[in-house]
């Protein structure tokens, strides 16, 4: 009997449990399906308006003198004098005496040439006197007709006159050689390199020094072909008229922990595009770089100084400025329409700068540009505007406080 109970009792318990579970399942309320709630992404926007923009082009270059020459000796001799200004970095004025070569040989050459002039003039006087005598003799003899040129000593007269002219030309040459013993500055400038000194013997054509003018400095500025389109570069052909335009340029350099600024103009472009870099080189000119006329410059724009340059370009109208983060890919932005739905727009960019882009087409005044990066934007997707949400919260807080 006990064994029978041990067998039947577990079976009864299991059946009773199964029946209770079945009843609980049958009696539970049905689950109502719910639609998933889609939360629109929260984005920040910027409302844009067209504006007028003055374009600029940035470049860099090294200052160089506009005029740089080598002084050469035009005569031979020993240098007897050198000016104090003839030293590396020395300044001089136009016409200032820089070097002098021993002039004594050339002074004697002038004396000899003047003596030959007097000798030739005396010979001419003798020939003229003999020609006059020959004409009188012809007349006294009562001969008819014209005497021959040889009888009147015309060939001798012509030769004597030529000798006078030659002697006078030699005097002029001797005087010029004497003047060339004194080397004077052809312009106001500065000494770049001194190559000779007092006591040194120089030959005709020997280099004496390298000098440059201080009236103007030039800076070669490479720019891209695209940037060249932003600037009205000067254009002229074979000197026909003045250049059409000379854009202003501001030159900056840090000297002694201070930034100095000079104003200049773009005066020309170089003759060819660099075949390696495909860059166009424009030349900026800064007048009076050493402020010798007492302008407003605080530091000389010395040759060899490395500078940054900002070239003023053309002015364009109806341009939209966008932060760089607003542009997706190359030419796409996200615009929020009045219904707070996202629209994908293609834009025409005028220029891309470091922190922003300039857009010339594809946008309209008052457009709201999405600034928040979205992983998978879809045209027509609903969004929430962060500025509107924050404004609603502020109004709610103010209403609750009242």
> Tell me: the pLDDT tens digits for 334-362?
999 999 999 999 999 998 888 899 999 99
Q: Which residues pair with 320 in a beta bridge?
A: 359
Contact 92, 71 (CB under 8 A): no
**Is residue 306 in some structural domain?**
yes
The answer on 305 and 206 residing in a single domain is no
Confidence label for 128 from pLDDT (cuts 50, 70 and 90): confident
Owning domain of residue 157 = 75-212
Q: What is the DSSP string of 3-58?
A: HHHHHHHHHHHHHHHHHHHHHHHHHSPPPPP-PPPPPPPEE-EEE---EEEEEEEE
* Alpha carbon separation from 71 to 89, 154, 161, 266 (Å, rounded): 15, 48, 39, 29
Do 118 and 234 lie in one domain? The reply is no
Domain end position, chosen among 316, 345, 361: 316
Assign 40 a pLDDT band (cuts: 50, 70, 90): confident
pLDDT score, position 253: 92
Cβ proximity of 206 and 122 under 8 Å = no
pLDDT tens across 76-111, in order?
999 999 999 999 999 999 999 999 999 999 999 999
pLDDT at 389: 77
* 228 and 293 belong to one structural domain: yes
Calculate the CA 93 to chain-centre distance: 29
Q: Do the domain assignments include residue 229?
A: yes
pLDDT at 267: 92
Residues 289 and 334 in one domain: no
Q: Which residues contact 178 (CB under 8 A, 6 or more apart)?
A: 103, 106, 107, 109, 110
CB 215 within 8 A of CB 66: yes
- Of 295 and 139, which is predicted with more confidence? 139
Q: What is the pLDDT of residue 5?
A: 59
Instruction: For the beta carbon of residue 203, count every other beta carbon within 10 angstroms.
Output: 10
Q: How confident is the model over 261-311, as pLDDT tens digits?
A: 999 999 988 878 888 888 999 999 999 998 877 655 568 899 999 999 999
Between 39 and 175, name the one with better pLDDT.
175
Between 327 and 9, the higher pLDDT residue:
327
Q: How much is the mean pLDDT over the chain?
A: 86
Which of 212, 220, 214, 218 minimizes the C-alpha distance to 288?
214
Residue 112 vs residue 278, higher pLDDT: 112
The domain boundary, picked from 273, 301, 316, lies at 316
* Distance between CA atoms of residues 46 and 227, nearest Å: 28
The reply to whether 87 falls in a domain is yes
């Amino acid at each position: 009997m006990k064994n029978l109970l041990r067998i039947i009792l577990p079976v009864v318990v299991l059946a009773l449990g199964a029946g209770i579970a079945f009843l609980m399942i049958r009696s539970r309320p049905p689950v109502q399906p719910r639609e998933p709630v889609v939360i629109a992404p929260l984005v920040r926007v910027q409302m844009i308006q067209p504006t007028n923009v003055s374009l600029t082009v940035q470049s860099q270059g090294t200052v160089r003198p506009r005029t740089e020459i080598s002084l050469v000796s035009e005569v031979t001799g020993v240098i007897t004098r050198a000016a104090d200004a003839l030293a590396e970095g020395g300044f001089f004025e136009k016409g200032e005496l820089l070097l002098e070569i021993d002039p004594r040989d050339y002074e004697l050459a002038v004396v000899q040439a003047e003596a030959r002039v007097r000798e030739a003039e005396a010979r001419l006087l003798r020939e003229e006197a003999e020609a006059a005598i020959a004409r009188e003799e012809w007349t006294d003899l009562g001969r008819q007709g014209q005497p021959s040129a040889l009888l009147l000593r015309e060939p001798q007269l012509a030769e004597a006159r030529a000798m006078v002219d030659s002697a006078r030309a030699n005097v002029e040459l001797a005087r010029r050689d004497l003047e060339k013993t004194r080397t004077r500055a052809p312009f106001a400038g500065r000494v770049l390199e001194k190559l000779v000194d007092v006591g040194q013997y120089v030959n005709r054509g020997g280099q004496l020094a390298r000098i440059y003018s201080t009236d103007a400095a030039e800076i070669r500025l490479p720019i891209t072909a695209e940037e060249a389109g932003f600037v009205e570069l000067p254009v002229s052909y074979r000197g026909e008229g003045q250049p059409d335009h000379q854009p202003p340029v501001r030159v900056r350099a840090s000297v002694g922990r201070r930034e100095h600024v000079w104003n200049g103009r773009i005066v020309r472009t170089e003759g060819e595009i660099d075949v390696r870099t495909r860059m166009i080189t424009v030349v900026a000119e800064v007048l009076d770089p050493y402020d010798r006329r007492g302008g407003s410059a605080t530091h000389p724009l010395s040759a060899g100084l490395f500078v940054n340059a900002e070239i003023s370009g053309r002015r364009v109208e109806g341009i939209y400025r966008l932060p760089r983060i607003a542009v997706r890919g190359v030419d796409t932005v996200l615009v929020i329409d009045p219904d707070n739905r996202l629209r994908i727009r293609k834009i025409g960019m005028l220029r891309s700068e470091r922190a922003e882009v300039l857009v010339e087409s594809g946008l309209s005044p008052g457009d709201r540009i999405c600034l928040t990066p979205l992983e998978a934007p879809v045209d027509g997707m609903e969004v929430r505007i962060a500025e509107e949400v924050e404004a609603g919260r502020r109004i709610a807080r103010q209403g609750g406080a009242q």
